Amino acid sequence: MHNGALRAPIAAEDLGTATVTPSGDFVAGSYATFTLTYTAGRFGIDDTGSLRIVFRFATDQTNLQLTDPEAPGYVTVRASNGAVLDVTFSPKANIRPWDRTLWIKVVRGYLSEGDNITVVMGNTEGGSPGLRLQTFCEDTFEFRVLADPIATFNFQPLPEQPTIRIVSGTPERVIAVIPTMRRVGETFALKVKGEDLWGNPSDRCDATLALRVHGPVSGAPARIAMTPGPRAFEIPGLSGGEPGEGFVELVDDGGTVVARTNPIQIVASETADIHFWADLHGQSEETVGTNSAHDYFAFARDLAFVDACAHQGNDFQMDEGFWSFLNNVTERFNEPHRYVTLPGYEWSGNTALGGDRNVFFPVEGRTIRRSSHALIEDLSDADTDCFTAADLFAAFDNAGEHDVLCFAHCGGRYADIKLAHDGRFEKSVEVHSSWGTFEWLVNDAFDMGYRAGIVANSDGHKGRPGASYPGAGLFGAIGGLTCYVMPELTRPALTEAIRRRRHYATTGGPTGRMIVDATLRFESEGTVFGDDPRLGAASGLPSTTAMMGDIVYLPQGGAELSFELSAASPVERVDVFNGRSCVSTFRPFDEAGLGRRIRVLWEGALYRGRARQIVWDGTATVDGNRILEARPIAFMNKDKTLDVNENTLSWRSITTGNQSGFDILLEEASEGHLRVSTKEIDLECAISDISLQGVEVSAPGELPRWIRASRLPDTNTALSFAATCRIDLKEHGDNPVFVRVALEDGTRAWTSPIYVTRETPPRTT
């Protein structure tokens, strides 16, 4: 892998040394001041030579700046011998992943051996609060120093780099997780952790909590003790004695419920498929993420409480040594019936060549076919590169690797599935990640007639797979999760669930583990396929029902969709789709149940590429009425806040295809006027005009951008919801039938479509 510099013509011991003070442990997201002292080596630094102090792409620490001594991140730099220095900062001025660069150039004079350059980062002398550290933990946060002592523009890393340790803060909330579905009599564990302000599992918990069990769950102790030291607590031995739904509450000594688990459904059938949760997409420090690959898989299992995980490093950074190491890591962590890992990587081709694809193998030891060797110096295996997504799929086919599985992904680059797609390998599209929400990618699949499932993952870069919060950087969303419906927790079961699209996706977070079921029932018998019969011989079974992911040939008769869901946050709405078209919307309340609560949401992305973030900073004013309460909805980034000043709200918000907004509770239900002003769209209407359907203003563009004001009940207690609707089937082409769920706290979910067609499958067995 590339170390962030070119080849090393100067012996490392001659480059000089660097130290940072203070050293030790620092709380994530806290402010500090650091003095980095570089001492020149044998060659000194010549006139026009320079240093770079570089930080990882993933860090969300304050950007360094040199112009405002009162603002965060203020930097001062001086040379001990009076040499004149030119100093600049750029978030992208060095080789990936060490992008963020403080560049110190000697522009008059030079340094001799033993001379110093002193850099004060977060200098507080002029009133700056200091440098705010990144909001996530890292055992070896590095101030990486590169030197160009001979002014050849060849920057080499110093042999020893100064580091500090970034640790979690005090717990702000308690998170409790149980499975969402288990069979009668099966044992499971309650898993609990305290998270700090930024979502880091805290080792500073100190509380004893009572457990209050609801529903058919037994085996829980009366109390649990959360003691300092561990970052998570596991209570095994729970089980469900009879069919039904339940949950567990954690209650403090004052009687306050400090945490509530997700719901669990206990099912009677011993052969029923059950739920397992996964985050199959993220990176570690060996590529562009944080902490080691070993730490990555351990975090997902022990601190995010997911059942399955995969690592998706950028292929152009992964040399053969790391690919072999990563295969060893996934093999060691894979433990059937406890925790499943999949070996894989991210094929990271440029957008014009197909864009990002997640690649998963059912076993270790497979060939990595890269999009390029952009950051790999050893070209001995370059003949296996696949420069386009189409080449990648063809290579799998030519090698007979028909058990490879792929997802289409939107991150920095986006997958152009209209340019390249092969349904034999590419089974799903990723609708949500830390990068945002990408329903347009699902619509691309529908437009092209592909039969793809829907997944969500984190694409986390902060070392927190399965619980990937956005922090304070450009990431505007919590990382997603996918629930796989399968008979057992093993690799074969997981790969089969992916292959058959037996899963639903959620936007993750504390209420992301909801229970969602969607079933199609037919008036006449159809043929249900797991594999797509258009892509090869496929076996079909006669049936009058289908579940998410199925492909159905239904020559005649109608269809009726039934859905059921349970969650830890009230249900706001459920939309039923046939492809791009929303055919029905259901809510657990009607016009008669509406009250004084107004919800304002905004959604959108600028375009499909990297700079898709929309800044929604704005204000809202209510005239002729009074705001009694206000609360933010899906303000994921803690730097983005909602402030209230009597009848005026102000906020800072970004979206990248996802939603944010606020609720206000008014004194009078229908009096007054609402004005919303943002950098993108303004909305103005009478309060009396805001109904169940809402008032919406949209803006033109490549992707949807809108603001909507709608009315809700004062209180909504609907944690479960079910409904049925008839689906009018098109006679030609596919009918991709799925549901999209919206919870009141902003969490969303999508079921993989059921593909119904009237057209006779070309190949069946």
Helix, strand and coil in the chain, % to nearest 5? 10, 40, 50
pLDDT exceeds 70 at position 676 = yes
352 and 229 share a domain? Answer: no
Read off the pTM. 0.96
**pLDDT tens, position by position, 60-100:** 999 999 999 999 999 999 999 999 999 999 999 999 999 99
**pLDDT tens, position by position, 435-478:** 999 999 999 999 999 999 999 999 999 999 999 999 986 677 89
Mean pLDDT of all residues in 49-54: 98
391 and 295 share a domain? Answer: yes
CA proximity to 168, closest of 132, 207, 198, 193: 198
Domain boundary at 120, 142, 167, which? 167
Q: Distance between CA 340 and CA 333 in Å, rounded?
A: 7
What is the domain-level CATH number for residue 143? Answer: 2.60.40
Domain that holds residue 92: 12-167
126 and 40 share a domain? Answer: yes
Strand partners for 718? none
564 and 496 share a domain? Answer: no
Cα maximum dimension of the chain: 89
Instruction: Specify the number of domains making up the chain.
Output: 5
318 and 398 share a domain? Answer: yes
Classify burial at 398, counting beta carbons within 10 Å of its beta carbon; exposed 0-12, middle 13-18, buried 19 or more: exposed
302 and 423 share a domain? Answer: yes
Q: Distance between CA 277 and CA 308 in Å, rounded?
A: 7
In a domain, 717, yes or no: no
Give the residue, 664 or 637, on which the prediction is more confident: 664
Domain boundary at 210, 233, 267, which? 267
Separation of CA 262 from chain center? 19
The pLDDT, as a whole number, for residue 765 is 53
**pLDDT tens, position by position, 212-244:** 999 999 999 999 999 999 999 999 999 999 999
Q: Distance between CA 33 and CA 55 in Å, rounded?
A: 16
Q: Residue 155 belongs to what H/E stretch?
A: none
In a domain, 762, yes or no: no
Would you mind telling me the total number of residues written for the chain in this entry? 765
User: What average pLDDT is seen over the chain?
Assistant: 96
Classify burial at 270, counting beta carbons within 10 Å of its beta carbon; exposed 0-12, middle 13-18, buried 19 or more: exposed
284: number of Cβ within 10 Å: 27
Contact criterion met (CB below 8 Å) for 94 and 102: no
Dihedral sign from CA coordinates of 404, 410, 416, 418: positive
Structure tokens at 714: 């004062």
**pLDDT tens, position by position, 333-367:** 999 999 999 999 999 999 999 999 999 999 999 99
Contact criterion met (CB below 8 Å) for 22 and 94: no
Dihedral sign from CA coordinates of 38, 40, 46, 47: positive
Task: Verify cis geometry, omega within 30 degrees of 0, for the bond prior to 570.
Answer: no
Task: Verify cis geometry, omega within 30 degrees of 0, for the bond prior to 159.
Answer: no
pLDDT exceeds 90 at position 481 = yes
The pLDDT, as a whole number, for residue 272 is 87
User: Residue 198: pLDDT band by 50, 70, 90 thresholds?
Assistant: very high
Q: Return the percentage of the chain with pLDDT > 90, whole number.
A: 93
Q: Return the percentage of the chain with pLDDT > 70, whole number.
A: 98
Mean pLDDT of all residues in 592-614: 93
301 and 380 share a domain? Answer: yes
The region, left, alpha or beta by phi > 0 then psi within -120 to 50, assigned to residue 389 is alpha
Helices and strands, counts by H and E, the chain? 5, 57
What is the domain-level CATH number for residue 537? Answer: 2.60.40.10
In a domain, 86, yes or no: yes
Burial 481-507 (b: 16+ CB within 10 A, else e): bbbbbbeebbbebbbbbbbbbbbbbbb
Mean pLDDT of all residues in 535-556: 95
In a domain, 2, yes or no: no
Q: Residue 397 belongs to what H/E stretch?
A: helix 389-398
The region, left, alpha or beta by phi > 0 then psi within -120 to 50, assigned to residue 471 is left
Classify burial at 205, counting beta carbons within 10 Å of its beta carbon; exposed 0-12, middle 13-18, buried 19 or more: buried
340 and 369 share a domain? Answer: yes
In a domain, 25, yes or no: yes
230 and 161 share a domain? Answer: no
The SS3 call for residue 676 is strand
The pLDDT, as a whole number, for residue 270 is 86
pLDDT exceeds 70 at position 3 = no
Domain boundary at 118, 150, 167, which? 167
Contact criterion met (CB below 8 Å) for 727 and 735: yes
611 and 658 share a domain? Answer: yes
The pLDDT, as a whole number, for residue 611 is 81
Q: Which residue has the tokens 């200091």?
A: 130
Mean pLDDT of all residues in 666-674: 97
**pLDDT tens, position by position, 90-124:** 999 999 999 999 999 999 999 999 999 999 999 99
In a domain, 414, yes or no: yes
Q: Distance between CA 574 and CA 721 in Å, rounded?
A: 9
Task: Verify cis geometry, omega within 30 degrees of 0, for the bond prior to 22.
Answer: yes
The pLDDT, as a whole number, for residue 475 is 72
User: Residue 501: pLDDT band by 50, 70, 90 thresholds?
Assistant: very high
CA proximity to 598, closest of 683, 719, 691, 705: 691
Contact criterion met (CB below 8 Å) for 747 and 507: yes
In a domain, 623, yes or no: yes
Strand partners for 454? 429
114 and 224 share a domain? Answer: no
Residue type, 365: G
Give residues with Cβ within 8 angstroms of 690, minimum separation 6. Answer: 598, 674, 709, 710, 711
Q: Distance between CA 200 and CA 184 in Å, rounded?
A: 34
Q: Residue 440 belongs to what H/E stretch?
A: helix 439-448
Q: Distance between CA 629 and CA 765 in Å, rounded?
A: 61
pLDDT exceeds 80 at position 5 = no
In a domain, 765, yes or no: no
Strand partners for 175? 193
What is the domain-level CATH number for residue 203? Answer: 2.60.40.1930
27 and 104 share a domain? Answer: yes
Q: Distance between CA 290 and CA 298 in Å, rounded?
A: 13
